[in-house]
Amino acid sequence: MSARHPRVRPFPGHRSIEGLLALACCAGFAHGAQGGGACLAFDGVDDFVRVARTALLEPEELTVELWAWIDGPQDWNTRLLRKGERDAYFLTADQDLDQRMQLLVTRGTALRVQARDPVPHVARAGAWHHFAGVWSVTNARFFVDGVQVADVAHELGALTHEPPTDLYLGAGLPVTLQNEYFAGRIDEARVWARARTSAEILSTWDRPLVGTEPGLVAYWRFDEGSGQVAHDDSAHGHDGRLGATIEMDASDPVWLAGGAPLAPFECWAVNYCASTPNSSGHAATMGFTGSLSIAANDARLHVYDAPAGHAGLFFCGREPARLAFLDGYLCISPFTPGLVRLPPVVVVDGDRHASRALDLAAPPSSVQVLPGDVWRFQFWFRDGAAGGTGANLSDGLAVRFCP
Ligand SMILES: [Ca+2]
Ligand SMILES: [Ca+2]
């Protein structure tokens, strides 16, 4: 840490991602479903949630994931999620008495692919666990708590959906009176119209989503806590109805306070793309003070070790770069969506420092900061370094914002 700026250096150890994440998690920056929210409890007799079908729920490749609290031993062919009749995909706790949580895909009445948890579902009972199934055109994979436990090569290719049906949570197809009702709780159910990677599964299994993630087509957080509708937070309109009717009825699952033990929404700020020394003898670095919360809107951008008395300008963009530019590097891609200036021009003070309120409530028109977005910030400044171009830049600062 520089002795010249002991009070305004934003993050002790801010060059370490781990340090930043630790700070973000413990300093009250993070928001989300930590220990709060709600979930749905299914009685294993007749409870279910029904989601009207759309083509978005019938992709060629797929990821389905949810948190479940399995009450105990489950019935024959107990389903936690089922979409389809003959050509179907399932997250199921059992298939023909194998007693394994699994991704099950059926094709017609004869073909079937299973990617199974190696241990019986009772070994997962009595606690929250996350289960995810991934279907690609070549493999079916299954994950428990973010870790892959099965990878099965198959020859069924892309998913098919014939005949198309609605999607059910906590049950199979209640209309056929099959014995498929789940006894336990479900939370944070997600459907993606693509095969997510292991790294992607691991990065979000225990985190709330924003809802706009690429490929996410349904996202039920079950945080309503009351009522007859489980809303789809992906904005694709896949709202679920509790039970057989929109009125209270015997097949409604029950709202429970609390839910899956999700970690806080992850937000952070981290420096990248180190610059070159300017005429001050130092390389200028970006800093950030205030909250990473968009709602708090008290963030301030800083630059340190810029040459005193020179004018400069903060700017921002979305995509990273490291392009030789002026006496240093451009750390934000100038290509689409491009760079946005953050006026006014500021003058570096005698401590080689300048700052600007970020003011997310009144940003430039081309800047809209949403939760989960990563924005990148940098500072351009005039400089009189011998043999230089007359200008240089700081390093880059990447910021992922919280709600
Ligand atoms: Ca929930
Ligand atoms: Ca109902």
What pLDDT is attached to residue 36?
A: 58
Cα(103) to centroid of ligand 1, in Å?
A: 22
**Cα–Cα distance between 47 and 311 in angstroms, integer?**
66
Opening angle at CA 265, ends 264 and 271, nearest 5: 115
| DSSP percent split of the chain into helix, strand, coil, nearest 5 | 5, 40, 55
Q: How far is the CA of 87 from the centre of ligand 2 (A)?
A: 27
Q: What are phi and psi of 110, to 5 degrees?
A: -110, -30
**Given this model, what pLDDT does residue 218 score?**
98
Q: What distance in Å separates the CA atoms of residue 269 and residue 313, rounded to the nearest whole number?
A: 20
- The domain limits of the chain are 17-30+266-400, 38-257
3-state SS class at 48? coil
Q: How far is the CA of 188 from the centre of ligand 2 (A)?
A: 20
Eight-class DSSP state of 283: B
Which fold is adopted by the domain 38-257?
A: Jelly Rolls (2.60.120)
Q: Which residues surround ligand 1, an ion (CB under 5 A)?
A: 37, 39, 187, 221-223, 259
pLDDT of residue 29: 28
**Distance of CA 175 from the midpoint of ligand 1 (Å):** 27
pTM for this prediction:
0.71
Quick check: helix, strand or coil at residue 357?
strand
pLDDT at 265: 79
Identify whether the C-beta of residue 263 lies closer than 8 Å to the C-beta of residue 203: no
How many Cβ atoms are within 10 Å of 226's Cβ, its own excluded?
Answer: 7
pLDDT, position 145:
97
- Please provide the CATH number assigned to the domain covering 17-30+266-400: 2.60.40.10
Beta-bridge partner residues of 324? 329
Whole-number Å distance between alpha carbons of 201 and 183: 25
Handedness of CA 256, 65, 241, 88 (dihedral sign): negative
pLDDT in tens, the chain (403 residues): 333 333 333 333 333 333 333 333 322 223 333 345 899 999 999 999 999 999 999 999 999 999 999 999 998 999 999 999 999 999 999 999 999 999 999 999 899 999 999 999 999 999 999 999 999 999 999 999 999 999 999 999 999 999 999 999 999 886 665 669 999 999 999 999 999 999 999 989 998 998 888 999 999 999 999 999 999 999 899 999 999 999 999 999 999 999 999 987 788 999 999 999 999 999 999 999 999 999 899 999 999 999 999 999 999 999 999 999 999 999 999 998 889 999 999 999 999 999 999 988 887 877 888 888 899 999 999 998 778 899 999 999 999 998 8
Between vectors from CA 219 to CA 123 and to CA 50, what angle results, nearest 5°?
80
Q: What is the pLDDT of residue 176?
A: 62
> Any idea which ligand is nearest the CA of 258?
1
| Ligand 2 geometric centre to CA of 48 (Å) | 9
CA–CA dist 88, 384 (Å, integer): 68
CA of 193 to the centre of ligand 2 (A): 28
User: 386, exposed or middle or buried, with CB in 10 Å at 0-12, 13-18, 19+?
Assistant: exposed
- Note the pLDDT of residue 360: 86
Q: CB-side exposure of 146: number of CA atoms within 13 Å?
A: 9
**What was the pLDDT predicted at 66?**
98
CA 186–ligand 2 middle distance (angstroms): 17
Q: Is 174 helix (H, G, I), strand (E, B) or coil?
A: helix
Terminal-residue alpha carbon distance, the chain: 30
Distance CA 69, CA 46 (A): 17
Residues making up the chain, counted from first to last = 403
CB 278 within 8 A of CB 392: yes
